[in-house]
Copies of this chain bind each other. A is one copy, B any other.
């Protein structure tokens, strides 16, 4: 017996969804609540999420009795480009740069919130992709997305809030560096700047750098490792190594001198810099958005695994390389062109 027409139609809609054709629809066609439902349904929260999305606010565990919290906004055309990065990459990067800030306090990520603004004609494939990237990187950071907001805006805007727990430790501030401390770094340097240079040059090579630029992969646990191992100051490399160490130098009222020979220049960035006529050392020292970690430790401290000594803290002010001011870019600034 033939199915009645409404059953056929129902099956047709399900088939379309299965083929992903629903993702061709726009946010306005689906409506705010349906898009939020797609972003949250079936996602697995962590034990820190006491109350997830759906009420006036979320409730997140703060076993330490203090909560570490930071927020960053990413704007289309300014912090990402949809022709350079996939929606998944954009979501991942948004979480990574906020999660790295939590780790840079020596804390463990416990939850993320996402406020997303997008035009009404944004394809569901974009919001689905961003959502997938947000969840993928949040999971890497060990936390869930516990809440958010979805609004209409002229271009894509993503504002992330990250929460973290100190586990009874003191937060590691930028202001704790002392003369005589060693400066050490954990993670890649210059990869994001290299990837950006490859994209700007329109080169089809050096894809590992491009991938890293699109979605850096902070090793969040290095922040806790540094804290446990007595780091006296700590930050993540977001504006550029020299610029970020400049923040530490200023907050700590000290000078920092880096040894250029200690800065690990990976083969990938050396090759790309050679091809593009650029300087891998400049990328490593002035490139931002690597979201590696840099901090200071007592001279007699044993550095945690994965940390490499790259310089010393001195009396004075400012950051030098081999005793001299390093000429090159000056790191990232929000309102430069």
Contact = CB atoms under 8 A, between A and B. Distances in A.
Contacts of A174: 54-56
A14 interface: no
A70 B51 contact: no
A113 B160 CA distance: 11
A131 interface: no
Contact of A72 (B71, B101, B149, B251): B149
Interface residues of A, number: 71
A335 B54 contact: no
Interface in A59-81: 59-75, 77-79
Nearest to A161: B161
A324 B159 CA distance: 41
Interface stretch (A104-112, A254-262, A277-285): A104-112
Interface in A19-61: 27-28, 31-32, 50-51, 54-61
A199 interface: no
Contacts of A163: 67, 69
A148 B73 CA distance: 9
B75 A66 contact: no
Interface stretch (A133-141, A150-158, A224-232, A307-315): A150-158
A113 B69 CA distance: 8
B59 A62 contact: no
B78 A152 contact: yes
B66 A65 contact: no
Contacts of A116: 73
A167 interface: no
A333 interface: yes
Given A32-B334, A73-B117, A152-B78, A62 B56 contact: no
Nearest to A68: B57
A147 B70 CA distance: 7
Contacts of A171: 51, 55, 57, 59
Contact of A152 (B65, B67, B75, B175): B75
5 cross-chain pairs, A with B, having the tightest CB-CB distances, nearest first: A62-B62, A159-B159, A57-B70, A73-B115, A56-B104
23 contacts: A54-B174, A54-B251, A55-B105, A55-B251, A59-B69, A60-B69, A69-B163, A70-B113, A70-B147, A71-B159, A72-B149, A73-B115, A73-B149, A73-B151, A73-B153, A73-B159, A74-B151, A75-B117, A75-B154, A115-B159, A117-B157, A151-B334, A157-B157
